[in-house]
Amino acid sequence: MSAAPYERSRPADTLAGFLAAASIFVSLTGIAYRPLRLIPFATLLALIAIAIGGRHERLATYAVFIGAVSFMLGLAAAVITSNPLW
C-alpha cells in the first residue's frame, strides 16, 4: 500500500491539459499555415490554461513558449516563401 493518498484531478485540471495540448497543436500547425490567424488564438488558449492552473501548469507554460517560437518561425517562413500571413 502507498502511504500517499490518491488525489483525484478536478475537471478544471483536465480542461487545462486539453487546452494546453490543443494550443501546442495549433501553434505548430500555424507555422505552416497562416501564422497570424492561428498562433495568437493558440497563445490565448495557452494563457487560459495557465489561468486555470492545476496539475498541467507546466504543460501550459511550455505551450506559451512553443506559441512564441512558432510565431517567430511562422512569420519568418511566410515572409521567406512569400506566402500570405493571414
Domain-wise residue ranges, the chain:
32-86
Contact 34, 84 (CB under 8 A): yes
Residue 34, Cβ density class (10 Å: 0-12 exposed, 13-18 middle, ≥19 buried): middle
Per-residue pLDDT of the chain (86 residues; tens, 9 = 90+): 666 666 777 888 999 999 999 999 999 999 998 899 999 999 999 999 999 988 889 999 999 999 999 999 999 999 999 888 77
